[in-house]
A and B are shown apart, each in its own frame.
Chain A
Amino acid sequence: MTESVRTPVGAPAARVRGRVPLRVGPVSTVLRLRPLVALLGGLAGLLLVFACDLALGDYPISPLGVLRTLFGGGDAGERLVVLQLRLPRALTGLLVGAALGLSGAITQAVVRNPLASPDLLGVTTGAGAAATAVIVTSGTLGGISGVVASLGLPLVALVGGIVTAVLVGLLAYRGGVDSFRLVLVGIGMNALTVNATLWLLTVGETQDAGRAMVWLTGSLNARDWDNVVPVGLALLVLVPLSLLGSHALGALQFDDDTVRELGVPVNIARGALLLGAAVLASLATAAAGPIAFVALATPQIALRTAGTPRPPLVVSMVFGALLVVGADLVSRTLFGSLQLPVGIVTAALGAPYLIYLLVHRYREVQT
C-alpha cells in the first residue's frame, strides 16, 4: 500500500504523487503529504479549540484578554478565571486526550486489532474498578479503604490500571508475548474488572453509586494544576520513548520470525510498547476518570484521515487531544447548566465522525 519506491542505485527515483523525497547529503527521507496535512490540520484545530476553551464560558474573555493574562497582564478576575480555572482544565483535557490517543495507537498497532484499546484489554477498567471500590466503600466501611481514599482517587486509579496491565502481561507470558493470547487474556481481565465494578455499584448506596457513575464517565470538572503535572511529566518522558519505539512498531506488523530477522527483539519491543501504552492510559484515567472511546476511536480516525497503513502515533495523539478539548468546550458552553461529563461528549462528537469515515472509505485498511 505504501511501499517505498525501490530504484536501482544511481537512477533518479520515480516521483510518486503525494510524496516528496527530501535529500540532504547522505540523509534522505520521504515526506508524504496526506499524513502531513492531517497532522497540520489537527494541530490547527487543536490550537483553535484550546484558545476557545480558555476564552469562552460563563465569564467570556476576549482573545486579546486571554493572551494578556497568559503573559502576566489582566485584572484579578481574568487572572483567576484563566490561570486558576480554565487553563489547568484545558491542559488536563489536552494531555489526557493526547495520552489516550497515543496509548490506543500503540495498542492497536502492536496487537493488530482495530478493536483493541486500553479499555478492552482491562487497563482502564482495572483503574475504574479500583476507584469505584474506594468510592463505594469509603462511606460505609471506613477503615482500610478510608486510608486508601485519603491517598486520592487518582493514585488508586493509577495503581489499579498499572497492576491490571502487568497482570495481563504476566498471565499472557509463555516464553514470549503472543499478541493473540494477550488480547484474550486482556478480554478476560476486562470482564473481571467490569463486573467487579458493576457489582460494587449494586452493593453501594444510590448516592455513592451516583458519584461513582459520574467518575466512571470521565470528567474534567474542577481540575486544577495538581491534575496537570503528573500527566504532563509522564507524557514528557513517554512520548519521546514511544516515538523511538515506532521503528519497532513498524517491524511488529510482520510475523514474529520476520521481525527477528529485521533485528528487533520481538518480546522486549512488544512488552515495552504495551507497558508504555498501559501507563499512559492509567495516567489519563487517574487525571480525568475513564474517558471511553478516545483511545479506541482516535487511532482509527487518524489512520483513515492520514491514509496510513497502521495508526500513526503523532496524528493519533493530536486528534485525541483535539477530541477531548473540543468535547470539554462543547459540554461547558452548550450544556453549561447540565454539567455533562466530558466522557459523554467525546463519544457524541467522535462516533459520528468515525461513522462518516467508515461510510466514505477512502482506503481499505487491513489490520
Chain B
Amino acid sequence: MSRSSATGDPSGSGPASSTSPAPHDESPAGGRRPETLPAPTERDSAPPPERVRRPDGTARSERATRSDRLNSRRRGRLLGLGVLCCLLLLSCALSILIGAKLIPPGAVVDALFASSRTENNVIIYELRIPRTIAGVLAGSALGLAGALMQGYTRNPIAAPSVLGITQGAGLAVVLAVFTMGITGMLGFIWFSFAGALISALAVFLIGSIGKGGATPVALALAGAAISALLQALTSALVLLDRQSLDTYRFWKVGSIAVSDMGLIQRVLPFLLLGLVLGLASAPGLNALSLGDDMAAALGHNVARSRAIGITAIAVLVGSAVAMCGPISFVGLIVPHIARYFAGPDHRWLLPFAALGGSCLVLLADLVGRIMARPSEIQVGVMLAMIGAPFFIALVRRRRLMRL
C-alpha cells in the first residue's frame, strides 16, 4: 500500500503517473496486476520494471507481442483519459456559456477578465461559475464514491443511495427543518455532512462486527438495513410535517444550481481529501478483488485498506450531498460506464469514474437548462433521462464488464 497510484489531482493529469509499469513494492506480487475475477479480459501482467520498452520491430518473441498488446491497451486507456479530460473542459465551457439568459460568447470572455458589476458579469460570476464548479466536484465525488463502493462490496448494485449514506444525509436535513426550521443549502450543509458520515460509519461497523469481518455481503446487507431504517424515519417525519415535506421533496431531487461560492469553499477541503484517499485506495482494492485471503497473502493490510476506503466514501458522499443534495444515479451508473472503458483495474477505473461523473453531471445539467428554458429540469432527473438509456445501451453490448 506504500505506492500511492495517484496524486489526487482531479484534473486527470495525476493518475496518468500510475501508467508506468508497477514497480516492485513490498508486496510479493511484484509487478503482477491483480485483474478482477472473472472479467473476460486478456491477462494483463505488467512486464518487470527492469525491462526497457523495445523500439518497434525488434525481437518478436511471444513476450514482446504480449507487451505490445499491453502497450496498445495502455495507449487506449490513456487516450480515453485524454478524451475524458477534453470532454470535461468542453462541458465546463458550455456550462459557463449557455444558460437561461443569452450572453454572447464574446461578452462571456470579457466578463471573465472584467471586474465591473454588469448584469452579465454577475450572472457569470455568481450563478454559472459556481454551478459549473459544483457540478465538476459533485460529479467526480459521486462517481468515485460509487466505484469505491462497488469495489469494496463487490456488488454491482452498491451505490451511495443503496447503502444508506444518502438516506443518512436526508434524515439529517429533515431533522434540521423539523426541529429548528432551518432552510436553504447553507443551513443544511453540516447536517447532511454529519448524517452521511454517521450512516457510513454505522454501515461499516455493523458490516464488520460479526464473524468473518467486513465481507462484501455483510457490508451490502448492513447498508440495505441502515438505508431502510433511515428512510423509514425520514418518511415518518415528512408525513408529520408539511414544511419538512416541502423542503425534502425539492432537496431530494438534487441540484447543482449552487449560487454561493461560500458553500463550495466550505466543502472543498473535505472533497479534495476524499478524492485523494479514494484514488489512493486503488491498489488495495485491486488486491481485495482477488478475495480477502489472497489480498492478505499478497501483503495487504485488508482491514486498513477497507477503513481508508470507507472513510473516503463517507467524506466524498457527505460533501457532495451537502453541496448539491443527493444526485442519484451518478454513483450507481458511472462506475459501470467507466468499467466498460477502463477495464477492471481500479488504478484506471477510479480516475475514469471521477472524470466521467463530472462530465455526465455537467452535460445533464446543461441539457436540463436548455430543454426547459427559461426554467430548468433538475440535474438528477435529467441524468436519469439521458444516462439510463445510454447505460442500458452500453450494457446490451457484447463485451460486458463483470465485477
**A residues within 8 Å of B by Cβ?**
113-116, 120, 171-172, 174, 178, 180-181, 183-185, 187-189, 191-192, 194-196, 198-199, 201-202, 206, 209-210, 213-214, 217, 292-293, 296-297, 300, 338, 340-341, 343-348, 350-352, 354-355, 358-361, 364-367
Interfacial chain A residues near B396, Cβ < 8 Å: 171-172, 174, 181, 185
Q: What residue in chain B is nearest A204 (Cβ atoms)? A: B249
A353 to B122, CA, bound (A): 54
One of B228, B245, B381, B387 near A347 (C-beta < 8 A): B228
**Cβ of A364 and Cβ of B212 under 8 Å apart?**
yes
**Cβ of A188 and Cβ of B235 under 8 Å apart?**
no
B204 to chain A, nearest CB (A): 12
- Beyond known contacts A184-B156, A214-B239: 17 more, CB 8 A cutoff: A113-B157, A114-B155, A114-B220, A116-B157, A185-B396, A188-B388, A188-B395, A191-B333, A198-B378, A198-B380, A199-B381, A206-B245, A210-B242, A217-B235, A296-B224, A352-B229, A354-B224
A345 to B392, CA, bound (A): 34
Contacting A at CB under 8 A, from B202-242, are: 206-207, 209-212, 215, 217-218, 220-222, 224-226, 228-229, 231-233, 235-236, 238-240, 242
Given the interface pairs A214-B239, A352-B229, the reply to whether A184 lies near B387 with Cβ below 8 Å is: no
A307 to B245, CA, bound (A): 42
**Cβ of A195 and Cβ of B385 under 8 Å apart?**
yes
A107 to B242, CA, bound (A): 37
The list of the 10 closest CB pairs from A to B, nearest first, reads: A195-B384, A347-B232, A361-B210, A347-B228, A351-B229, A293-B228, A199-B381, A351-B225, A115-B157, A192-B388
**Cβ of A361 and Cβ of B220 under 8 Å apart?**
no
For this complex, 27 residue pairs linking A to B, each with C-beta atoms less than 8 Å apart, are A113-B156, A120-B162, A171-B392, A180-B402, A181-B396, A184-B395, A185-B396, A187-B157, A191-B332, A191-B387, A192-B388, A194-B328, A195-B329, A198-B380, A209-B245, A293-B224, A297-B224, A340-B236, A340-B239, A341-B239, A343-B232, A350-B225, A354-B225, A355-B226, A361-B212, A364-B215, A366-B217
Q: What residue in chain A is nearest B215 (Cβ atoms)? A: A364
User: Which of B218, B231, B329, B388: most chain A Cβ within 10 A?
Assistant: B388
Interfacial chain B residues near A199, Cβ < 8 Å: 253, 377-378, 381
Q: What residue in chain A is nearest B211 (Cβ atoms)? A: A361
**Cβ of B333 and Cβ of A188 under 8 Å apart?**
yes
**Cβ of B162 and Cβ of A189 under 8 Å apart?**
no
Q: Is B400 close to A, CB under 8 A?
A: yes
**Cβ of A360 and Cβ of B236 under 8 Å apart?**
no
Majority SS at the chain B contact face: helix
Interfacial chain A residues near B402, Cβ < 8 Å: 180
Q: Is B119 close to A, CB under 8 A?
A: no
Q: Is B131 close to A, CB under 8 A?
A: no
One of A116, A187, A196, A340 near B333 (C-beta < 8 A): A187
**Cβ of B210 and Cβ of A180 under 8 Å apart?**
no
**Cβ of A210 and Cβ of B228 under 8 Å apart?**
no
A120 to chain B, nearest CB (A): 6
Q: Is B336 close to A, CB under 8 A?
A: yes
A146 to B386, CA, bound (A): 29
Contacting A at CB under 8 A, from B70-121, are: none
A343 to B235, CA, bound (A): 9
One of B158, B249, B250, B400 near A180 (C-beta < 8 A): B400
Given the interface pairs A120-B157, A210-B242, the reply to whether A364 lies near B211 with Cβ below 8 Å is: yes
Given the interface pairs A213-B235, A347-B232, A348-B229, the reply to whether A202 lies near B250 with Cβ below 8 Å is: yes
One of A189, A191, A202, A347 near B253 (C-beta < 8 A): A202
Interfacial chain B residues near A350, Cβ < 8 Å: 225, 228
Q: What residue in chain A is nearest B398 (Cβ atoms)? A: A174
**Cβ of B249 and Cβ of A358 under 8 Å apart?**
no
Interfacial chain B residues near A343, Cβ < 8 Å: 232, 235
**Cβ of A344 and Cβ of B235 under 8 Å apart?**
yes
**Cβ of B217 and Cβ of A198 under 8 Å apart?**
no
